[in-house]
Structure 1
Amino acid sequence: MTLEALKPEVDTIIETQKLSTDEKLRAICQLLKDNVTYYNWVGFYFKNGDKEELKLRTYVGAPTDHEIIPFGKGICGQVAVSNENFVVPDVQAQDNYIACSISVKSEIVIPMFKDGANIGQIDIDSDTPDPFTEEDERFLEFVNKRVSQIL
């Protein structure tokens, strides 16, 4: 399934009244992991209250010990500070990378905004070297825009 074809599926999840917000987030993670061959771990991190850290809210993929990430640390922590997309074609080449699994080769992190404030992000790890394109960035920006509407 193409990324464009996944947009209506994301909309359907967002608009499903019987699901809680956490169920919607998990369903979106599962949808992306199941339908994009190079999305091996998909999760949502959000700002943890007034703390300068991110907290993992939901994910699908291999278990992770990284449930709390300080701002500035790792790719996710850098995005929390920069407010900009971060595509990592080769995680081995990143000095400030937090390894989750030895199988991860690349990562993409897209910040999520609500009322102009960075409230969180979607984080995707891939076991494929350098798979992410501008199309992934635009699609994940769409996902985050829709998700921010239910938060």
Structure 2
Amino acid sequence: MFNVETYKGTRDDQYELVKKQLKALIEDEPNRIANLSNASSLLNQFLDRVNWVGFYLLEENELVLGPFQGLPACVRIPLGRGVCGTAASDKKTVLVEDVHAFPGHIACDAASRSEIVVPMIKDGQLIGVLDIDSPETNRFDEVDKKHLEEFTAILVNQI
């Protein structure tokens, strides 16, 4: 059974623990939906000042809503559109300090002010994105980017 540990120490230490917890959650589970569901729940519990954590999965050249924690969300996002579509098209993490300043931002939740989207790439192919929103501007930084990319890589290796 999964044991929640207290997040202490530096932000790097805390992220190391959450990555360790992810590995424990998914190591023996082959089901993609179960693993994505637990990963979104784990991040939602770990991260403070966020209002949405979830996944969009690539299906027939568009992103389709997958497991998430938060308010109901946009179901389909075209590649290249909004923050998620841009991260998916470019296959690069997009960190947005203020979503209202991002050209073409898709507002699924009007309360969201900043966002980070990490592409999920397996064997060189895009399979989806991890999307995290915050009701605060400038919520995410390079520490978040580094560790969320590593978190996503751990997850992608299992699914």
Query: What is the TM-score of this pair, normalised by structure 1?
Result: 0.91
- C-alpha distance in 2 between matches for 1:24 and 1:122: 13
Q: Which residue does the alignment assign to 1:56?
A: 65
Q: Which residue does the alignment assign to 2:156?
A: 148
| Unaligned 5+ runs, structure 2 | 1-6, 8-13
What SS does the corresponding residue of 2:158 show, helix, strand or coil? coil
Q: Which residue does the alignment assign to 2:43?
A: 32
- C-alpha distance in 2 between matches for 1:16 and 1:125: 29
| Contact 1:53 1:68 (8 Å CA) reproduced | yes
Listed one character per residue, the Cα deviations across residues 56-100 of structure 1 (whole Å, up to 9, x for unaligned) are 111111111x11111111111111111111001001111210001
Partner of residue 120 from structure 1, selected from 128, 131, 154: 128
- C-alpha distance in 1 between matches for 2:115 and 2:55: 13
| Contact 1:74 1:98 (8 Å CA) reproduced | yes
Total equivalences in the alignment: 147
Q: Which residue does the alignment assign to 1:76?
A: 84
- C-alpha distance in 1 between matches for 2:92 and 2:82: 14
Partner of residue 139 from structure 1, selected from 142, 147, 150: 147
| Contact 2:95 2:117 (8 Å CA) reproduced | yes
Partner amino acid, structure 2, of 1:126: S
Query: Offset at 1:4?
Result: 2.2
- C-alpha distance in 1 between matches for 2:57 and 2:31: 17
| Contact 2:52 2:133 (8 Å CA) reproduced | yes
Stretches (4+) displaced over 3 A:
none
Partner amino acid, structure 2, of 1:22: I
Query: Offset at 1:150?
Result: 2.2
| Contact 1:32 1:39 (8 Å CA) reproduced | no
- C-alpha distance in 2 between matches for 1:39 and 1:30: 12
| Contact 2:52 2:69 (8 Å CA) reproduced | yes
Partner amino acid, structure 2, of 1:41: W
- C-alpha distance in 2 between matches for 1:116 and 1:76: 18
